[in-house]
Chains A and B, each alone.
Chain A
Amino acid sequence: MSEKITRRDFLKLTAMGAAATAVMTGCGPMSRYVVRRPYTQMPEYNQTGESTYYASTCRECPAGCGILVRTREGRALTIEGNPNHPVNRGRLCARGLTAQQGLYNPDRVRGPRFQGRGKPTSPPRDLTWEEAVQVVGSALQKPPERIAFLLGLVPDHLFDLVSELTQALGAPPPLRYGALAALDGRTTLLEATRRLFDTPALPYFDLAQAEVTLAFGADFLQAWLSPVTYTRAYGNMRQGNPRRRGELIVFEPRQSLTAGNADRWVPIAPGSEAHVALALGGRVAELRGLPVPEAFRAVSLEEAARVSGIPAAQLEDLAVTFATAERPLALVGGSALTQPNGLVTAQAVLALNALVNNLGQPGGVFLTPAEATPAPLTAVSDLVRRMQAGEIEVLFIHGVNPLFELPAALGFAAALENVPLVISFAPFPDETALQSDYIFPDHSALESFGYQRSLAGADRPAWSASQPVVVPLYNTRATVDVLLAAAQAIGRALPYRDEVDFIQQKILPLLNAGGFYTAPEILTFWSRWLQYGGWWTPAAGLPAPRSPRLPASFGTLTPPPAPAEGQFYLLTYTNHLGDGSGANRPWLQELPDAMTTVTWNTWVEIHPTTAEHLGLKDDDVVRITTPYGAVEASVYRYPAIRPDTIAIPFGQGHTALGRWAEGRGCNPAQILPAATNPAGDPAFIGTTATLMPTGRRRPLARVESKDGVYGEH
């Protein structure tokens, strides 16, 4: 009896097992049925399952690379380089490649809203665009001299429109500012070219064909002006030149990615670049049998060696290398300019190119058309002063995050309190937007029309076009349209119907300007413009600078003060996070920093011997104090930095900007001075800081194995 039951139980168990297996493995597709809604009108060019590409312009930095956005079923999938575009030739950097994480960022501002500066007494509330236009209109009716526009480096078409608007209103012209431009030293370059060549212009260095390149400060492989252009040129300089493999020598206190790729990295004392450039120039002139220009006599080789900490023999060797090279090129930017001697450095290095006669030559220096140039920091501090004095009633902010990007020492935060009405057009809830009265979000870059016309990386006259690649996700509106509508509402209408009309009118002069396509009228031109992603000439060609008028002196030189005991030169630099606007792209956060492989946080680079001297270990949290403030960061013992220098990357330390950016690392702008160089660019270099261990440790998320790379456990 019991045996039978056991058997039957066994059978039952088997059946149960089989049934359970059937359920768990899922025999049929029931769970997979999903509803699909076909287009009501199937667009001819759009096919489900097939990608559609739109040409546009990357707005992650002001370089203006051409992009092709791959879309499918109305979604932007991947971003690729536009192969025809003169700036990037189909190539793209990490920032551009991850731009769709900005478009689809869950933390975007989803509609116009009253922000109320984050005060509990005036809680945020949503508005309609009609109300928004009304608010902007009444703001524009304020006394014109009390209206201020602070714009970012992109997009150019908005800057053009605001320029026209302020002109029509009689208001002061808009200011353009961005930490990227400031750290690039753009204003200094413009001032130097104005002084030497009479034309303020950003120089274009033909790196690809240069054979010996001296680079002062410019981290052109990662951040400076147009990194994709220069990285492509770098590759061609190394292996694309049939004559010889180009040689790169970089003067930098801290090895940037560019210096890391150089054949020789010269760890120059911060602030002594001008001395070295002048001394090298004098020596090069001698070696080339030229009369040494007066300006280059200011510094002798020995003095330069003493000030910069580079052995004189090495300087001599570099001078010989440069003077005897077939196609020498000297390049300047970044940390060589953002310092008290920056303007002298810029002039000296540009003049050095004139000495070796490479202006307008292959492998030499050209000038790009400089329009809509960024404002110097001095202009911004002037604005801050007026804000502080209560002379500004309305401040419009677009494309820039001054609370994050400006040195805190400038006092922008306090000055903002004195402005009665602040209107932000930010698509993201960044620091400044949250401190505004209103946020009227612009479309994100991939949803907008526009153009970029100052392309520092183009080897030819070029305009780069933007177009929406997806339907706007949220209730956002193009700022140009908002301003046009507001101007119309107050009876100061500009002669443009809307944003597209404005752009079309602005590009009218290009119709027959010798581009690689022409069109009889604007609509045909417009379709080509959108199809190709812009307009440019078929052949390369930029104006050569005229031979310079060398003044007797490039300016006064202040030798860098040697840091006192326990003080270190403080450097900040930009990596792939750029000016910090990339910090809310999770994949940019996840991307290892090229030199340190650190992700998701801020670190402070300290030379290993210095760290040992201070008793600091990797990942120790230190407090970095300057006269302007203090921040905390984890130590990264960086073997390629001067022992008297420490460096902090720019871009982290957000207190707003969404879930991936907030509360991560520190913002070096908090401890930078508001000082400027004679050209008006910030003079960050030369700031000294003290280090104070906090006793805490915060391990950095590095990709490298410390054990494997540094032999430490």
Chain B
Amino acid sequence: MAEERPAKWGLVVDLDRCTGCNACIAACSMENNVPFVGEDEVAYGRALYWIRTQRYWEGEYPAVTPTFQPVMCQQCGNAPCEPVCPVYASVHSEEEQINLAVYNRCVGTRYCANNCPYFARVFNWFDYELPEPMRSYLNPDVTVRRRGVMEKCTFCVQRIVRGRQKARAEGRELRDGEIQPACVQACPAEALVFGDLSDPESRVSQLARSQRRYHLLEELGTLPRVTYLKGVGNHGG
């Protein structure tokens, strides 16, 4: 049996490739049983996107151009959400080096969400029931959250765990690119790359060393595991 090697999962977002099409949101929501909340609740800022594309405008007409930046949980190495949770529902995984959202432990203080500088966390304001037979598409690998629970991007930890179990059952190491979160898998522009940052040869590590790299709100010292690659030139960010 191959020895378990702890991983340091990381994501690279190439903003020069990203078109802002939002397929990542759809992929994520369907994989992770993220409920839709309806027009009024979205208008009030209660949509439950685990990943959303921040769209700012640059320049003035006619040289105006949008900049797209998909933002999801940055899986900080030094995460502000973790120390403030009174019950360890927001907790660091030593094994995967990501921030876990343990739904069944959450009591719903929402402090983690206040303290997340990336606004990556969303809250189940209500129980969002799906009419029959829509519940049939719910992914059984992901817990359906009830009201009063925080949730956020998990890097599709269910896929990580499944992938590791599969590799272990077959007695081999994980291959680079074998595990892909739903957003990475769907991204039509191939702007998202996922992998193990502790392996210097992995594709994600190579991209994360790019000269175009930066991290969101780097000055806060949160050590995000998501690396952004700047758009090139003064456009197309």
Contact = CB atoms under 8 A, between A and B. Distances in A.
Are A and B associated in one complex?
Answer: yes
Interface of A: 49, 72, 75-81, 88, 90-94, 97-98, 100-101, 103-106, 221-222, 227-228, 231-232, 234-236, 238-240, 245, 248, 255, 257-258, 260-267, 473, 576, 586-592, 594-595, 597, 599-601, 607, 609, 639-640, 643, 664, 699-704, 709-710
Interface of B: 14, 16-17, 19-23, 25-27, 29-31, 36-40, 42-43, 47, 49, 52-57, 60-62, 64-66, 68, 131-140, 182, 185-191, 232-233, 235-236
A301 to B, nearest CB: 19
Contacts of A576: 21-22
Contacts of A255: 64-66
A46 to B, nearest CB: 14
Given A592-B52, A699-B43, A228 B16 contact: no
A589 to B, nearest CB: 7
Specify which of B17, B31, B188 lies most central, judged by the most chain A CB atoms within 10 Å of its CB: B188
B30 A222 contact: no
A80 B47 contact: no
B208 to A, nearest CB: 14
B39 A601 contact: yes
A710 B232 CA distance: 24
A463 B68 CA distance: 35
Contacts of A81: 185-186
A263 B236 CA distance: 6
B53 A98 contact: no
Which 9 A-B pairs give the minimum distances between C-beta atoms?
A235-B189, A701-B43, A600-B39, A94-B26, A235-B17, A231-B188, A590-B36, A701-B42, A97-B26
Contacts of A701: 39-40, 42-43
A595 B54 CA distance: 10
A77 B30 CA distance: 8
B66 A245 contact: no
Contact of A75 (B52, B137, B232): B137
Nearest to A709: B56
Given A77-B140, A231-B19, A267-B62, 5 more contacts: A88-B188, A592-B49, A600-B42, A640-B57, A701-B39
Specify which of B19, B40, B65, B131 lies most central, judged by the most chain A CB atoms within 10 Å of its CB: B19
A103 B137 CA distance: 9
Contacts of A236: 190
A466 to B, nearest CB: 18
A245 B234 CA distance: 13
B137 A231 contact: no
Nearest to A74: B136
A257 B21 contact: yes
A639 B65 CA distance: 9
B204 to A, nearest CB: 15
A245 B232 CA distance: 9
Contacts of A699: 43
Contacts of A594: 19-22, 53, 55, 68
B130 to A, nearest CB: 9
14 contacts: A75-B136, A92-B23, A106-B131, A227-B21, A227-B188, A232-B190, A234-B19, A234-B189, A238-B232, A261-B236, A586-B38, A592-B22, A600-B42, A703-B42
B57 A97 contact: no
Contact of A591 (B26, B39, B131, B134): B26
Contacts of B68: 260-261, 594
A105 B66 contact: no
Given A235-B17, A257-B21, A701-B43, A228 B236 contact: no
A703 B49 contact: yes
Nearest to A665: B39
B49 to A, nearest CB: 7
A597 B56 CA distance: 11
Contacts of B134: 101, 104-106
Given A235-B190, A238-B236, A597-B55, A639 B61 contact: yes
Contacts of A221: 19, 21
Contact of A80 (B20, B185, B233): B185
B47 A78 contact: no
A263 B57 CA distance: 14
Given A78-B30, A257-B21, A591-B25, A599 B42 contact: yes
B37 A590 contact: yes
Specify which of A79, A248, A588 lies most central, judged by the most chain B CB atoms within 10 Å of its CB: A79
A664 B38 CA distance: 12
A600 B38 CA distance: 7
Contacts of A234: 17, 19, 189
Given A265-B62, A639-B64, A703-B49, A93 B21 contact: yes
A640 B137 contact: no
A76 B136 contact: yes
A595 B57 CA distance: 10
Specify which of B20, B62, B135, B182 lies most central, judged by the most chain A CB atoms within 10 Å of its CB: B62
A260 B42 CA distance: 24
A637 B156 CA distance: 37
